[in-house]
Amino acid sequence: MREIKKVIVLGANGNMGSLSGGLFAQANTRTLFFARTVEKAKEGIENAVGQARSDVLREFLEPYAYSDLEKELPDTDWVFEGLGENMDLKTEYYAILDKHRKPGSIISTVSSGLSIEAMAEGQSDDFKAHFMGTHFYNPPSKLTANELIFHPTNAQELRDFVANYCDKTLGRTNIETLNVAAFAGNRIGFQLLNEAAILASKHGVEKIDYLIGPYTGRALPPLATIDLVGLDVHKAIVENVYDKVSDERKESYKMPDYMQKMMDNGQYGSKTRDKGGFYKRTADKKKFALNPATLEYIELQKTKVEFVEEIKAYFADGKYANAIEILKNAKGEDANIVRHFILGYVSYSFHRIGEVTPENDGIDGIDRVMSSGFSWLPASGWIDLFGGPKATIALIEAAKLPVPASLKALPEEKICKINEVTRFLNGR
């Protein structure tokens, strides 16, 4: 029987390392936070304690510098790696882990898209057999998704143990994903985010975020989401997909030139509040939006479009059928943009079945990661809102988007299996 009595977190001063590592401490597990200095590790502990809003966590968290890593590895049961998305950096530390770790101990990475097999290349057979991806979403206190990406040599016993531990002990929503660039959630989510950034160069930041705002089934508008994630992280994800994947929407992953200019200016989003990102707030709390052509900020215009306001009002009242009728029949360029993004998201999600998640999972695995990892209405939820597969297919065809074979094969019935979504749509 495996027991997890001691956990080491690498990169514990980073947001994902500290917050993910804090989940182990919340399970009353001795958790060692490692960073370049003890002071940095202590900063990670404060971040984890802040997430849990409980000083009790301090009892289980210990700060360490990497200089002490070798001596702490031999009796460690799980090493949770939260280092930066840099293959050379990870390889450097994996060599240390492989040399000093306890045989049979688990090593997992929170990487959001680097190849699991490539990361383990050159390490021992025992390392590979116990290495996997556990991609938590940020912040893990609110987003429970955990993409499990197993190494081909992982035994079934290990896979079952990790899945059960993440579910029962860490409170994660597990989604098994395949070892492809950006895995499942980021592959689908960042396609939409990057396409929104592309269209912003023509229609403006405020207009695009308004048209594809929360009423279209997401917690935040797309460009505000990129600000939250950080333009540097966004760039790493979309470039990784563009370089390694060929699909029907490949060109939508090409990051627009103005975003690189933003980064050159230090405009990374929320992490550079003084310089801003797609949005910027002044000292007196006024909010401004970026002009992609000039990279300067303009005062928000408080955009309103009649059909969007009508849809939002009907959704707020729970009158979904009325809202959908307006969405289906609204005329003009703005309406075409809204339908393009919603129907494109459905189309792209169904096209990825068997590519980013196992074929046997159907749309359910993708639905669960988009719901619990992005807080987006899953693709099947939209299909149920539109009135079923046939009605959705007709809309996709009218929008001149590709229709997935997996969607055509669906029966004419309610297909969403996400309980939180179905209860909401059914008004319960």
CA 211 to chain centre: 22
- The string of pLDDT tens digits covering residues 297-311 is 999 999 999 999 999
Structural class in CATH, domain 185-425: mainly alpha
The whole-angstrom separation of Cα 222 and Cα 342 is 12
Of the chain, the end-to-end C-alpha distance in Å amounts to 41
Which 3 state secondary structure label does DSSP give 348? helix
Beta pairing, strands 30-35 & 106-109: unpaired
Give the pLDDT band of residue 421 (cuts 50, 70, 90): confident
Q: Which of 161, 218, 223, 215 is nearest to 198 (CA)?
A: 223
Token digits of residue 88: 């050379």
- Helices (H), ranges, 31-155: 38-52, 69-72, 87-100, 116-120, 125-129
The whole-angstrom separation of Cα 286 and Cα 283 is 7
- The string of pLDDT tens digits covering residues 130-142 is 999 999 999 999 9
- The string of pLDDT tens digits covering residues 239-280 is 999 999 999 999 999 999 999 999 999 999 999 989 999 999
- Helices (H), ranges, 53-133: 69-72, 87-100, 116-120, 125-129
Domain borders along the chain are 6-176, 185-425
- The string of pLDDT tens digits covering residues 79-129 is 999 999 999 999 999 999 999 999 999 999 999 989 999 999 999 999 999
The whole-angstrom separation of Cα 165 and Cα 60 is 18
pTM: 0.94
pLDDT of 71 higher than 70: yes
Q: Enumerate the β-bridge partners of residue 81.
A: 10, 109
Give the pLDDT band of residue 428 (cuts 50, 70, 90): very low
Query: Under CATH, which architecture does the 6-176 domain have?
Result: 3-Layer(aba) Sandwich (3.40)
Give the pLDDT band of residue 427 (cuts 50, 70, 90): low
The whole-angstrom separation of Cα 422 and Cα 384 is 9
Give the pLDDT band of residue 420 (cuts 50, 70, 90): confident
pLDDT of 353 higher than 60: yes
- The string of pLDDT tens digits covering residues 158-206 is 999 999 999 999 999 999 999 999 999 999 999 999 999 999 999 999 9
